[in-house]
Structure 1
Amino acid sequence: MGRNDLYITVPSIFRCPISLDVMRSPVSLCTGVTYDRASIQRWLDSGNNTCPATMQVLQSKEFVPNRNLQRLIQIWSDSVARRQLEADPAANSAVPSQDQINLLVKQLDNNNFLSSLTKIVCFARESEENREFLVRIDGFLNAVFDFMRNVESDVKLIEQVVEILNLMSSKILEKKPLLESSSLSTILLVIQRGSLDSQIQSIGLLRSIAVDGESKLKIAEEEGILQELVKSLSREKDPSLIEASLSCLIEITKPKRVKIKAIQSGTIPELKKHLSEPNTSVSIIEKSLKLLETLSSCREGRVEIWHDPILLQAIVQKLLKVSNKATEHAVTVLWCVCCLFRDEKAQEVVANSNGMTKFLLLMQSNCSAAVRKMSADLLKIFRVNSKSCLSSYDTKTTHIMPF
């Protein structure tokens, strides 16, 4: 029993005569006495045929729900919970109970949305079970979606909304409300003006709702979103924000239309900076090369890559030096530019950057079949002697591009 409970006076009519606890589901017997359903059911199931309070023999063991009393108990219980939340600082900072959450959801409106949602976010952070509980509350997600559609400019409030949606993104089956222009513009506002954590959560939310081609297009074509994601790739930004933006861009740039739009927004020069910087983390290098691989699958991307010798050199330098993932993405980009586009200047840059030696080493390493095949194709482009140790490799470019 908590300290505050000592000061709560429970009306006697709210207590079950058997358990003496507040009744959850009050029901009345034919004698007119009301009990909690669970308590009286146990009494009758034990073989008793009398009313426990009056000891009268029951003419009927049927009981009727006491709706009026149940409604009064609910009003009283809500009032007690509200007073505890408002009066006890410890209760405000602690994780709310499920009963308190039910009350807070009922209270969601424009006047106290921030206060209620802050407590709900605290509840959702606690566990997966809590998030599932929230999803099951009738009207909760609709209330949050409505807020997203009608929000004005209270960034602190929007940050709470974005966090709760990001926490529950895997539980939200109906994602269409979040793809509406009004909701996307709200998410954009947090990316532009929110705290670092809120920016990362907003970008994570975008990634989670990009579930198919249509959703990816809607996100990319919402004015300002793609530009902000590219801006977030700047080396001056926090590494966690850069990683979140790279992951989101990888997800939404799968449609060709979005690839072209991302290229036009200046994505490739930002990727070049990360690949050329010696202190870039492994994760950012891997994601940068993965995004570059995606963009190189369209002609516009390949043109921009082969036009930039420094970028090509940086890609070659990452072969065998970062990770297996990074190597695979780098080989695919070089294969797209040198084998598909067949630009002689790009081939010369790759060859002069010690590319041939690295492809030879790759073919002798424990790399994937796709990487070995692309390496052989690249060596053929560089006119390696067919009588050399590579002659046993079939270098026809008949394999499927790995994206």
Structure 2
Amino acid sequence: MGRGEGLSITVPILFRCPISLDVMKSPVSLSTGVTYDRSSIQQWLDSGHDTCPATNQPLLSKDYVPNLTLHRLINIWTLSSASSSRSSTADTSSSSSSIPPLPHVIPSGEMRQLVSGISSRPDAAGLDELEKIVEFASYCEENRRFIANFHDSIEVILRVLIRESERIEVLESAIRLLDLILIENCVRERIHRLIFESGYQKCFDSVLSVLNNGKLSSKIHSARILELIASNNGSRQRTIGEKIEAILPILVHLMRTETDKPLTEAILSCLISLSTSRSIKAQLVHLGLVPILSRILSDPETAGPAAERGIRLVHLISAVAEGRRAISEDSGCAVAVLDRLMKVQREAKEEGLKLLWSMCCAYRDARVMERVGKGNGVTKVLVVMQSEGDGGIVRRMCGELVKVLKGIAMAKSSSSYGYGGLGTLETKTTHIRPY
């Protein structure tokens, strides 16, 4: 045995993520009881999977919960391993069973002094200080909770965002830090209160600056922050109406020019939160959002979450006349929604059917009815209907859609139109009784 080989450290199998096989930094458990590293399972779910990767069981819910007990055990083991690594010889690193390099850990005492220093001198806080805090918050959930609960921490970050002529790198670090702690207790409420009651609305200018000039990852963080700030509150949105008018063109432009999937998903979520008034929906239509959504929904590479958000946004836009006109004029939007119905979760399925029902049954849009019919609409709607059991709003909408589409096809009295595959309807779907 070579010198130092006896000090090699073997990683307990329970500490490794089943997906990445690395030591878990933030272990979370699915409804199946299997634990994964948060970043790995989030990437798996965001890519459209609805099963547990280790067991292949269907997931009753895509939600996950932190495995705090395992996280503490990993932290204890990590500190012990780091101590052993420092006392071992250089030969230890050559062992195939030794642990990978451990991430840099900043002691909480040092972090407390750093945050306190920024709090007392907010105008002097620089990039180095913020990046250290971001590194600390990125490491684990306990660290993020520590930052979120630290006295005046949220106000300190917002002060950075309202500085005049601040460097883009500093703004990016501040926005990333906010995004990291958003899910912690009461953080959203504190941000809302400071922005809408304490005069921190100028932070919008910094967010817009990052959206225009920041790195790709920073643009994703910015979209998430915007979603939070303007989420589903009419009075708040009226307060920042001019800011939203400036935000919308930037978000739509990014969707038109960027192909990064996480960025697309973040912007879709942000636009859904912003689309609470008729004027905003109309502005999105005028900015050309419908063709962009049509492209996203038609792309077979678009994952489940992005498709579901895209369907919801199309449905929201269809509430205004400008939106319905744009959907009617776009040759692929309604058909793309139709093709996604059996591939999305129930909520998105209902919203997609409401869109098709409103365009075909309520407004009797001839162009949409023709395209849905030619897209084998009757058969696809019947398949959705069959999957819904005996009742519910989905089944009722499906029944009315089938009546309308079948009636138009019969009025045409020509199989060349191919409405819903009616030539095979009697032989393949007669067991389904929509009405």
Task: Give the match for residue 203 of structure 1.
Answer: 223
- Work out which of the residue numbers 283, 295, 320 in structure 2 matches 1:298: 320
Mapping for residues 98-109 of structure 1, pairs under 5 Å: 98-108=108-118, 109=121
In 1, distance between residues paired with 2:155 and 2:350? 44
1:128 counterpart = 2:141: yes
- What's the Cα RMSD here? 2.8
Deviations 1:149-197 (A, max 9, x none): 2241401000111011112223422224345441111111111111111
Would the aligned equivalents of 1:162 and 1:201 in 2 still touch at CA under 8 Å? Answer: yes
In 1, distance between residues paired with 2:266 and 2:164? 25
Distance 1:365 1:195, change over 3 A: same
- The residue identity in structure 2 corresponding to 1:302 is R
Task: Give the match for residue 194 of structure 2.
Answer: 177
In 2, distance between residues paired with 1:303 and 1:137? 51
1:186 counterpart = 2:206: yes
- Work out which of the residue numbers 376, 382, 390 in structure 1 matches 2:405: 382
Task: Give the match for residue 214 of structure 1.
Answer: 235
Task: Give the match for residue 353 of structure 1.
Answer: 375
How far apart are residue 216 of structure 1 and its match?
Answer: 4.3
Distance 1:123 1:156, change over 3 A: same
Would the aligned equivalents of 2:178 and 2:225 in 1 still touch at CA under 8 Å? Answer: yes
How far apart are residue 323 of structure 1 and its match?
Answer: 5.7
Tell me the percent identity. 30
In 1, distance between residues paired with 2:129 and 2:163? 18
Distance 1:357 1:163, change over 3 A: same
In 1, distance between residues paired with 2:148 and 2:309? 32
How far apart are residue 349 of structure 1 and its match?
Answer: 2.2
Distance 1:362 1:248, change over 3 A: same
- Work out which of the residue numbers 341, 360, 371 in structure 1 matches 2:394: 371
Would the aligned equivalents of 1:121 and 1:164 in 2 still touch at CA under 8 Å? Answer: yes
Q: Structure 1: give runs of 5+ residues left out of the alignment.
A: 1-92, 395-403
Distance 1:236 1:335, change over 3 A: same
How far apart are residue 251 of structure 1 and its match?
Answer: 1.8
Secondary structure at the residue paired with 1:251? Answer: helix
Task: Give the match for residue 316 of structure 1.
Answer: 338
In 2, distance between residues paired with 1:350 and 1:219? 39
Distance 1:145 1:319, change over 3 A: closer
- Work out which of the residue numbers 123, 138, 146 in structure 1 matches 2:159: 146
Would the aligned equivalents of 1:302 and 1:336 in 2 still touch at CA under 8 Å? Answer: no
Task: Give the match for residue 237 of structure 1.
Answer: 259
Would the aligned equivalents of 2:291 and 2:330 in 1 still touch at CA under 8 Å? Answer: no
Distance 1:193 1:333, change over 3 A: same
Task: Compare 217-226 and 204-213 and name the one that shifted more.
Answer: 217-226
Deviations 1:299-339 (A, max 9, x none): 22112111223322333333335665554333221112112
State the TM-score, normalizing by the size of structure 2.
0.62
Would the aligned equivalents of 1:319 and 1:327 in 2 still touch at CA under 8 Å? Answer: yes
Task: Give the match for residue 76 of structure 1.
Answer: none
In 2, distance between residues paired with 1:118 and 1:148? 15
- The residue identity in structure 1 corresponding to 2:162 is R
Give 1 or 2 for the bigger CA radius of gyration.
Answer: 1
Would the aligned equivalents of 1:190 and 1:198 in 2 still touch at CA under 8 Å? Answer: yes
Task: Give the match for residue 156 of structure 1.
Answer: 169
How far apart are residue 391 of structure 1 and its match?
Answer: 11
- The residue identity in structure 2 corresponding to 1:353 is G
Task: Give the match for residue 357 of structure 2.
Answer: 335
Secondary structure at the residue paired with 2:255? Answer: coil
Task: Give the match for residue 70 of structure 1.
Answer: none
Relative contact order, higher structure (CA 8 A, sep 6+): 2
In 2, distance between residues paired with 1:390 and 1:307? 35
In 2, distance between residues paired with 1:323 and 1:142? 38
Distance 1:390 1:270, change over 3 A: same
In 1, distance between residues paired with 2:337 and 2:298? 9
Would the aligned equivalents of 2:327 and 2:333 in 1 still touch at CA under 8 Å? Answer: yes
In 2, distance between residues paired with 1:305 and 1:144? 42
Secondary structure at the residue paired with 1:382? Answer: helix
State the TM-score, normalizing by the size of structure 1.
0.67
Task: Give the match for residue 94 of structure 1.
Answer: 104
Distance 1:390 1:335, change over 3 A: farther
Deviations 1:191-213 (A, max 9, x none): 11111111111111111223422
- The residue identity in structure 1 corresponding to 2:363 is F
- Work out which of the residue numbers 264, 284, 287 in structure 1 matches 2:306: 284
Distance 1:392 1:140, change over 3 A: closer
**Between Structure 1 and Structure 2, how many residues are aligned?**
300
In 1, distance between residues paired with 2:174 and 2:393? 44
In 2, distance between residues paired with 1:365 and 1:235? 37
Would the aligned equivalents of 2:278 and 2:320 in 1 still touch at CA under 8 Å? Answer: yes
In 2, distance between residues paired with 1:231 and 1:271? 12
How far apart are residue 271 of structure 1 and its match?
Answer: 0.5
1:274 counterpart = 2:287: no
Secondary structure at the residue paired with 1:280? Answer: coil
Would the aligned equivalents of 2:402 and 2:434 in 1 still touch at CA under 8 Å? Answer: no
In 2, distance between residues paired with 1:390 and 1:300? 40
